[in-house]
Structure 1
Amino acid sequence: MQKASNISRNITVIFMAVMLFSSFTEEQFPPRLQKKIDSAILSTYAIDSYTLMPITVSEEMNKITKAELGGDNLFKVLQGDVFIGYIYVGESPSMKKVFDYIILFTPELTIKKSKVLIYREEYGLQIGSQRWLKQFIGLSILDTVIYEETIDGIAGATISASSMTRATDHVLKTLRTLKSEKLL
């Protein structure tokens, strides 16, 4: 009986160690997405390496914010011990599928760059062009973003462009809420 108890305890300890180790791995996203996130962060902040610190909020706070904050969305970006900004990684609907995007922020919560990471449709690819996305650069948590008012539309990518605009507005409003609640 004691031998079975020891085996059970050993299995439990091994399982907990594996879970603990896996929670500290650098790659928090599927490899293809992680590679694109790495590239966006390294090039935007002009750095060679970085560490992401997840920003987690209570379930209640997540319910009242416009953008999803499930743990794999909002991060502080550190270069060594130096805080260099925030990133938000999200998913937004296109015509029939979804696309992945990243919004990179300065420490003062203004948009440094936004980028479509993975687009899964044949139509609407224009939203990935920096020519269109540069409209978001410099926007802050005090701004309201409205498709075809504050952000130009794109012929042939109306659904995706309005979706990216709406997602950006939701992220800005979410960060505004977190800042006002002193969570950032």
Structure 2
Amino acid sequence: MKKIVFILAIGMSFLSLTNSKIEALIQKEIKAYFDIENYTKQSLKVSQEINETLPIQISSTNFFKIVSNNELKGYYYFGQAFGKADYFDFIVIFDESLVISKVKILVYREDHGGEIGSKRWLRQFSGKTKDKQLEYQKDIAAISGATISAKAMTTEINKLLKTINILHNNKQF
């Protein structure tokens, strides 16, 4: 029994450490992109009725307004996608009009496919709006050796854009 408690304690502390590292990476990206030193993040509140219809469920841990000096700077979404064998974490930063400004892979946990973290490849998503449906190998370039991860990222971005479109149409922003 003591071994189980010990293992759970180590697992919980690792999870906490991982979450704080991810939060630090997110803060760095937000501050750098918006060129701000201080900001607050506010969870987006979505009614349960609407949330059940969304391709991506919005919670208090994944979609935020970014406010600095009482001014809306934009939004960000923290998400995960599944590559060949494991999940990877990413952030999507939006401007105040909900246009994608930046996409960044925060943590990539696999040995292969890490090329999707390249700034050049991720820039393909910048400027995309809520009414855009992206097609892999047409709108988004393929990456040799990272096919599964690149398709997964494209799929997640499409689901996110569709989610934002539904939220916008239901006046949730």
Cα distance, 1:49 vs. partner?
1.4
Instruction: Provide the rounded CA distance (Å) in 2 between the counterparts of 1:127 and 1:62.
Output: 29
Tell me if structure 2 keeps the 8 A contact 1:51–1:77.
Answer: yes
User: Helix, strand or coil for the counterpart of 1:53?
Assistant: strand
Letter in 2 for 1:46: D
Match of 1:139 among 112, 120, 128: 128
Shift >3 Å, 4+ stretches: none
User: Helix, strand or coil for the counterpart of 1:30?
Assistant: helix
Letter in 2 for 1:86: Y
Tell me if structure 1 keeps the 8 A contact 2:44–2:59.
Answer: no
Letter in 2 for 1:151: I
Question: Over aligned residue pairs, what C-alpha RMSD do you find?
Answer: 1.4
Letter in 1 for 2:71: V
Q: Which runs of 5+ in 1 are unaligned?
A: 1-26
User: Helix, strand or coil for the counterpart of 1:182?
Assistant: coil
Matched residue pairs, number? 157
Letter in 2 for 1:36: L
Instruction: Provide the rounded CA distance (Å) in 2 between the counterparts of 1:65 and 1:39.
Output: 29
Tell me if structure 2 keeps the 8 A contact 1:73–1:89.
Answer: yes
Tell me if structure 2 keeps the 8 A contact 1:51–1:80.
Answer: no
Give the percent of matched residue pairs that are identical in Structure 1 and Structure 2: 34
Deviations 1:22-74 (A, max 9, x none): xxxxx9x8111101101111111111111100002233322211113122111
Instruction: Provide the rounded CA distance (Å) in 2 between the counterparts of 1:71 and 1:103.
Output: 16
Q: Which runs of 5+ in 2 are unaligned?
A: 1-15
Q: Does the alignment pair 1:154 with 2:143?
A: yes
Query: What is the correspondence of 1:1-184 to structure 2 with a 5 Å cutoff?
Result: 30-184=19-173
**TM-score of the two chains, using structure 2 as the length reference:** 0.87
Instruction: Provide the rounded CA distance (Å) in 2 between the counterparts of 1:149 and 1:56.
Output: 34
Instruction: Provide the rounded CA distance (Å) in 2 between the counterparts of 1:77 and 1:56.
Output: 14
Instruction: Provide the rounded CA distance (Å) in 2 between the counterparts of 1:157 and 1:68.
Output: 26
Tell me if structure 2 keeps the 8 A contact 1:147–1:153.
Answer: yes
